[in-house]
């Protein structure tokens, strides 16, 4: 079901960070959000998430990050509201992080780097019938981005952290159920920035409405250290490489406007 886009590269291809800018791409992600240049839009609504923990299926290492995948064959776990006109189905969430707490996020706020960033990936189930279809369309996907800061231990995250040693290597999968992704959202989801962008890993398609939360979540140093114990490489490979710095370089804004839901 690999996307048929012309930008699909194998995960091990040196350009997995993708070309610096996709040829002809004028809405690439991630970007730096210049807070004072974002435009308040009073039409932006609160986000409405309704996630069913029972639709959680598995957690696996895809060689870029680790993904928690949800059953998206029905409208059980959905996102609507915010900047969105349609209803979007949750298909997976994953993270990006650094080798140290000094960096790791894909987006930045006035150039401020966070140690990690959570992405909750949804596709437009009002308009399309499969993720693979939606990924090719300009209103196909909606990704919620949440910044992580190092501080107190995140109790909800621990269940996920405890599963990571079982998926250390690329392509390892374990069954994972009853996880409510809502526990990873900040307490305030009314304040966010939104802009039109792309996937930050191949196929890099320009199909994403990004919704970046203003409020971060806190995780402990030890919890983040377990993320860094994952490997980019499969069990067979002779040289093992730690899964760290799995973020893309930032992309030009190309005149895009970043809107805010708050003043
Ligand atoms: C068609 C198969 C593609 C699998 N991978 C999709 C994908 C890539 C990047 C992001 S992200 N990092 O922009 O949220 C989400 C989902
Ligand atoms: Zn991501």
pLDDT tens, position by position, 32-53: 999 999 999 999 999 999 999 9
Is 37 buried (19+), middle (13-18) or exposed (0-12) by CB count in 10 A? Answer: exposed
Ligand 1 pocket test, pick from 8, 118, 121, 202 with the greatest ligand atom count within 8 Å of Cβ, gives: 121
The predicted structure's pLDDT at residue 34: 98
- How large is the average pLDDT for residues 85-103? 98
Task: With CA atoms as reference, report the closest residue to 178 among 77, 33, 74, 61.
Answer: 77
Q: Within 10 Å of residue 91's Cβ, how many Cβ atoms?
A: 22
Least confident interval from 18-22, 57-61, 164-168? 18-22
Q: Within 10 Å of residue 128's Cβ, how many Cβ atoms?
A: 19
Is 162 buried (19+), middle (13-18) or exposed (0-12) by CB count in 10 A? Answer: exposed
CA of 94 to the centre of ligand 2 (A): 6
Give 132-153 pLDDT, tens digit per residue: 999 999 999 999 999 999 999 9
Rounded to two decimals, the ipTM of the complex is 0.96
- How large is the average pLDDT for residues 194-213? 97
The predicted structure's pLDDT at residue 167: 98
The residue behind tokens 């189930």 is: 125
Give 99-121 pLDDT, tens digit per residue: 999 999 999 999 999 999 999 99
> Could you give the 3-state DSSP secondary structure of residue 146?
strand
Least confident interval from 1-5, 219-223, 239-243? 1-5
Q: Which residues line ligand 1 (CB under 6 A)?
A: 2-3, 119, 121, 132, 135, 143, 199-201, 203
Longest Cα–Cα distance of the chain, Å, equals 55
62 pLDDT exceeds 90? yes
pLDDT band of residue 5 (cuts 50, 70, 90) is very low
pLDDT band of residue 24 (cuts 50, 70, 90) is confident
CA of 199 to the centre of ligand 2 (A): 7
pLDDT band of residue 3 (cuts 50, 70, 90) is very low
Q: Please, which residues have CB within 8 angstroms of residue 232's CB and are 6 or more apart in sequence?
A: 63, 64, 170, 241, 242, 243, 246
pLDDT band of residue 234 (cuts 50, 70, 90) is very high
- How large is the average pLDDT for residues 83-112? 98
* Cα–Cα–Cα angle for 51, 56, 57, rounded to 5 degrees: 160
Residue 203 CA: nearest ligand 1 atom is 3
> Could you give the 3-state DSSP secondary structure of residue 22?
coil
DSSP secondary structure letter of residue 51: -
241 pLDDT exceeds 60? yes
- How large is the average pLDDT for residues 71-81? 97
Average pLDDT, rounded, for the chain? 93
């Amino acid at each position: 079901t690999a996307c048929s886009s012309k930008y699909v590269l194998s995960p091990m291809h040196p350009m997995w960070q993708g070309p610096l800018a996709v040829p002809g791409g004028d809405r690439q992600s991630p970007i730096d959000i210049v807070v004072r240049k974002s435009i308040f839009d009073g039409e932006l609504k609160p986000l409405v998430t309704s996630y069913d923990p029972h639709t959680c299926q598995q957690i696996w290492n895809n060689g870029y990050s680790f993904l928690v995948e949800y059953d998206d064959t029905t409208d059980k776990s959905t996102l609507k509201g915010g900047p969105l006109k349609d209803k979007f189905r949750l298909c997976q969430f994953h993270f990006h992080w650094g080798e140290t707490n000094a960096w790791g996020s894909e987006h930045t706020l006035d150039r401020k780097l966070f140690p990690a960033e959570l992405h909750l990936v949804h596709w437009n189930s009002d308009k399309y019938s499969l993720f693979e279809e939606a990924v090719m369309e300009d209103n196909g996907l909606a990704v919620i981005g949440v910044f992580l800061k190092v501080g107190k231990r995140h109790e909800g995250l621990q269940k996920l952290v405890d599963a990571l040693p079982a998926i250390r290597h690329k392509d390892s999968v374990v069954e994972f159920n009853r996880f409510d992704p809502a526990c990873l959202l900040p307490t305030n989801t009314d304040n966010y920035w939104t802009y039109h962008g792309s996937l930050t890993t191949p196929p890099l398609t320009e199909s994403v409405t990004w919704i970046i939360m203003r409020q971060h979540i806190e995780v402990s140093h030890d919890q983040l250290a377990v993320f860094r114990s994952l490997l980019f490489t499969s069990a067979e490979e002779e040289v093992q490489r730690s899964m760290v710095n799995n973020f893309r370089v930032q992309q030009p804004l190309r005149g895009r406007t970043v809107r805010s839901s708050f003043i």
